[in-house]
């Protein structure tokens, strides 16, 4: 295992880095001097993509600014490698590639994911399992792949990108919320397990940011116009998409991620986003659950 010298840049692996949060974080860290390897299902070892390319693992939302247009000066491109987080062999190959090129992995950022929408009654078990296979078990697989190397090198940092939907159950996004709630539990347990090895684990729970998430939303196959839930589901998702389009720019999260990476003893989770969304998480802990549910139904105009 390659020992980190003071002159060596720290090595960062980011899943789902073709655009969105992953791309913004990767370009910012690369501009700060880190050696960044981003992953995408569409990347190639034969033709490594630049972190400046676009894609749909977390793709660009129309009108989203990137690079220096974001107001941040320190953005740079980074290497992209192929990785499918639902495939353990693909993850192992990607990790081996990074180790062969850089000798170590100091930080792993689990960002790859998508959103499955629809009513619980109508989303199939197979669809829900696919949601968990990416959003939850994908993180589990990546952790299993990098942890032996982090233990051997004497430390590291794992950052899991959760969601506000992992702290508040979102209507018509039950599978997505459940996968992010599960990620909260995984992060808490893993953090205690590997603390003795000098490995830090943190969850970042973003609210609505202006990424491509509406484009990455998948509607359950049986959730069409024939559904008894159709009108409420349609209006709820429209409100969510409006919040996302009017959300904060994704580049704003990158400096915060670096701050967590540098922290010797970070908290288990950080909720980031607009103040009203962060406040909602706080209010949920204070008020009776039935009152909070009424507020949620009012917000999403569910009658």
What backbone phi and psi angles, to 5 degrees, belong to 104? -165, 165
pLDDT tens-place string over residues 94-130: 999 999 999 999 999 999 999 999 999 999 999 999 9
Q: What pLDDT sits at residue 69?
A: 35
CB 23 within 8 A of CB 76: no
pLDDT tens-place string over residues 198-213: 999 999 999 888 676 5
What backbone phi and psi angles, to 5 degrees, belong to 194? -105, 0
Q: Which residues contact 15 (CB under 8 A, 6 or more apart)?
A: 22, 38, 39, 83, 85, 109, 110, 111, 112, 138, 142
Q: What is the pTM of this model?
A: 0.87
pLDDT tens-place string over residues 35-54: 999 999 988 775 544 554 43
Q: Name which of 207, 107, 206 is nearest 161 in CA terms.
A: 206
The domains found in the chain, sorted by start residue, are 11-299 (3.40.50.720)
Three-class DSSP category at 273? coil
pLDDT tens-place string over residues 67-78: 333 344 556 789
The alpha carbon dihedral of 159, 162, 163, 167 has a sign of: negative
Q: What pLDDT sits at residue 59?
A: 34
1 has a pLDDT exceeding 70:
no
Specify whether 176 is catalytic.
yes
CB crowding 211-229: b at 16 or more within 10 Å, else e: bbbbbbbbbbeebeeebeb
CA distance linking residue 31 with residue 52, whole number of Å: 12
pLDDT tens-place string over residues 136-169: 999 999 999 999 999 999 999 999 999 999 999 9
Structure tokens at 185: 């539990």
If you search the block for the tokens 């018509």, which residue do you land on?
A: 172
pLDDT tens-place string over residues 230-278: 989 998 888 988 888 877 887 889 999 999 999 999 999 999 988 888 8
Q: What pLDDT sits at residue 245?
A: 81
CB 180 within 8 A of CB 173: no
Active-site option among 34, 61, 176, 270: 176
Q: What pLDDT sits at residue 57?
A: 42
What is the residue-averaged pLDDT of the chain?
Answer: 87
CA distance linking residue 158 with residue 151, whole number of Å: 12
């Amino acid at each position: 295992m390659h020992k980190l010298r003071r002159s060596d840049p720290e090595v960062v692996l980011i899943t789902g880095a073709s655009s969105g949060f992953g791309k913004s974080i990767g370009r910012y860290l690369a501009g700060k001097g880190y050696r960044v390897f981003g992953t995408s299902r569409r990347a190639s070892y034969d033709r490594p993509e630049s972190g400046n390319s676009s894609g749909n693992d977390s793709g660009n939302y129309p009108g989203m600014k990137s690079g220096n247009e974001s107001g941040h000066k320190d953005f740079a491109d980074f290497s992209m490698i192929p990785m499918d987080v639902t495939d353990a062999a693909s993850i192992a190959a990607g990790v081996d590639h990074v180790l062969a090129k850089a000798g170590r992995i100091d930080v792993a950022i689990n960002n790859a994911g998508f959103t499955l929408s629809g009513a619980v009654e109508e989303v199939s078990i197979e669809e829900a399992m696919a949601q968990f296979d990416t959003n939850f078990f994908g993180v589990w697989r990546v952790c299993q792949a990098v942890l032996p190397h982090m233990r051997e090198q004497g430390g590291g940092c794992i950052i899991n990108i959760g969601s506000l939907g992992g702290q508040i159950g979102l209507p018509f996004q039950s599978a997505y919320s459940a996968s992010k709630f599960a990620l909260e539990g995984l992060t808490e347990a893993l953090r205690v397990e590997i603390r003795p090895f000098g490995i830090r684990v943190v969850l970042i729970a973003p609210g609505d940011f202006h990424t491509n998430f509406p484009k990455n939303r998948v509607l359950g196959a049986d959730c069409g116009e024939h559904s008894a839930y159709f009108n409420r589901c349609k209006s709820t998702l429209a409100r969510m998409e409006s919040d996302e389009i009017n959300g904060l720019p994704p580049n704003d999260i990158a400096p915060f991620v670096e701050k967590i990476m540098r922290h010797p003893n970070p908290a288990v989770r950080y909720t980031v986003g607009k103040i009203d969304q962060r406040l909602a998480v706080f209010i949920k802990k204070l008020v009776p659950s039935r009152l909070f549910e009424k507020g949620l139904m009012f917000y999403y105009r569910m009658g």
